[in-house]
Amino acid sequence: MMGENRSRDKADKAKVTADKGKEIAENKLLNREDLLESVSFNDRGLIPAVLQDAASGRVLMLAYMNRESLERTLAEGRACFYSRSRQELWLKGETSGNYQQVEEIRLDCDGDTLLLQVNPAGPACHTGEESCFYRRLAEEAGRSAGESLSGKPVLHQLIPELEKIIQERKSKLPEGSYTAELFKGGPEKIARKLGEEALEVMLAALTESRERTESESADLLYHLLVLLAEKESGFSQVQRKLGNRFAN
């Protein structure tokens, strides 16, 4: 079985390498020099840069870069911008310690906007909020976090919002809360419940419908998030572990 897994991993990596070669040929992958030459700076020598959490997909902030700050970002691997008000380079996190480690840089189709996928060391917003985009339109009274204007869930926000609720239950331990009862039981109770849910996923996959398997998987994921919160961790840390394994 281990040999089969290694062979499968090698085949997957070979496919990724081949896909990258194809993207380079189609001008989808740029080296540093090509990126700098492809950027269309405005008449002030600036280009807007959107920061996105590489693990959660959440948009964190918008800032501006000039060629020098972009070159410094490429050289150091940390997001550096140009302050239009102070008219100087601005290394994000230099004062607060909340550096934004750059995992990937993308250039849009017109070459006039950058997307930086980052691993944030702390909140991106000067207010202490995780994202500068923390204020949202609420057309309907009572619209919950993670819910779109259409009333449907915003899928990429579901896990972060669920983790916030779980952390709140952990800190306040409200009476009548199932999540709070799990935390009161400690890691042993949470781990035992996680094992039960894993067994239910396995049984559903073997004997029941796809929909039932998906439902049980949702329960399993929820209990995994509770266990991660108990261990002072979170889903984004797990995603980064997976990313590191894929890179290796």
Q: What is the DSSP letter of 7?
A: H
Could you give the number of structural domains in the chain?
Answer: 2
Task: Determine the straight-line distance between the first and last CA of the chain, rounded to whole angstroms.
Answer: 20
Pairing of strands 80-83, 88-91: antiparallel
CATH of the domain at 189: 1.10.287.1080
Residue 104 lies in a domain: yes
Residue 240 lies in a domain: yes
pLDDT of residue 183: 98
Residue 218 lies in a domain: yes
Domain that includes residue 219, residue range = 155-247
Quote the CA–CA distance of 202 and 46 in Å, as a whole number. 54
Helix (H, G, I), strand (E, B) or coil at 162: helix
pLDDT of residue 10: 58
Side chain identity at 9, as an amino acid letter?
Answer: D
115 and 162 share one domain:
no
99 and 173 share one domain:
no
Residue 5 lies in a domain: no
Quote the CA–CA distance of 198 and 16 in Å, as a whole number. 31
Each residue's pLDDT tens digit, 45-76 = 999 999 999 888 889 999 999 999 999 999 99
Which tokens sit at 171?
A: 């800190």
Each residue's pLDDT tens digit, 148-206 = 556 666 677 788 889 999 999 999 999 999 999 999 999 999 999 999 999 999 999 99
Residue 237 lies in a domain: yes
Quote the CA–CA distance of 12 and 129 in Å, as a whole number. 38
Q: Which residue from 96, 114, 97, 94 is spatially nearest to 105, judged by alpha carbons?
A: 114
Please give the share of the chain, as a percent, with pLDDT higher than 90: 70
Quote the CA–CA distance of 51 and 63 in Å, as a whole number. 8
Residue 103 lies in a domain: yes
Confidence bin at 7 (pLDDT 50/70/90) = low
Residue 39 lies in a domain: yes
Flag whether the pTM goes above 0.95: no
105 and 184 share one domain:
no
115 and 160 share one domain:
no
CATH of the domain at 103: 3.10.20.810
Residue 186's contacts (CB-CB under 8 Å, 6 or more residues apart) are: 230
112 and 183 share one domain:
no
Quote the CA–CA distance of 216 and 204 in Å, as a whole number. 7
pLDDT of residue 24: 44
Each residue's pLDDT tens digit, 106-143 = 999 999 999 999 999 999 999 999 999 988 776 554 55
105 has a pLDDT exceeding 80: yes
